[in-house]
Structure 1
Amino acid sequence: MNKYELAVVFAPNLEEEAKNAALEKVQGYITRFGGTVEKVDEWGKRKLAYEISKFNEGLYYFITFTADASAPAEIESRVRIMDSVIRYLITKVEE
């Protein structure tokens, strides 16, 4: 099992309920592919470095999880098509 960090930026115009549903969906993908969510770090609304999809701000979340080496590709393929996600990145954390 490897340790990973998923940085995900949601659209800033999401309602509280929609934001929570999107976050639950991402965590569900992690557990669905054999991962274990260790920590969810909410950074809140931050200004983007440049405009993305006509947004100047985004809701930042950092999710630390452990999973097999094949899981990040599966998770990325699902997160990529979510409407509420404007950017994401999965990195392997060296211990």
Structure 2
Amino acid sequence: MKNYELTLILEGKATSAKKKAVLESLEKVVKMFKGKMEKVEDWGVKEMFHEIKKNKEGTYLHIPLEFEPSSLKSLEVKLKAEENILRYLIVKS
């Protein structure tokens, strides 16, 4: 298992219910691939440099992960399919 950091950008007006739904969905995927999600950091709403899907602001979430490198591609497919996620970034920590 390797350590990664996942940063998500949700819609700027994302409700707590939307955030919770995204995080629950992500947690299911991570557990499915025998990974671990650490403490979720809510970085709040920030103005973006350019619009993404007609949104000028985004809600940023940062999540440390412990995950198998062979399962990263599957995680990316799930993140792309999630309609509430505007952008994501996964980096090795």
| Fold-level similarity (TM above 0.5) | yes
- Long gaps (5+) in structure 1: none
The 2-side partners of 1:53 and 1:86 are apart by 7
The residue that corresponds to 2:23 in the other structure is 23
The residue that corresponds to 1:7 in the other structure is 7
- Long gaps (5+) in structure 2: none
Q: How many residues align?
A: 93
Q: State the one-letter code of the partner of 2:68.
A: D
TM-score, normalised via structure 1 length: 0.90
TM-score, normalised via structure 2 length: 0.91
The residue that corresponds to 2:89 in the other structure is 89
Which structure: greater helix fraction? 2
Render the CA deviation track for 1:33-89: whole Å, top value 9, x for unaligned. 111112211101111111110000011001101111112211110010111000001
The residue that corresponds to 1:34 in the other structure is 34
Report percent identity of matched pairs. Answer: 31
The 1-side partners of 2:44 and 2:23 are apart by 13
Q: Is the 8 Å Cα contact of residues 47 and 58 (structure 2) preserved in structure 1?
A: yes
The residue that corresponds to 2:79 in the other structure is 79
Q: State the one-letter code of the partner of 2:78.
A: R
Q: Is the 8 Å Cα contact of residues 50 and 56 (structure 2) preserved in structure 1?
A: yes
RMSD: 1.1
Moved over 3 A (4+): none
Stretch moving more, 23-32 or 75-84: 23-32
Stretch moving more, 19-28 or 71-80: 19-28
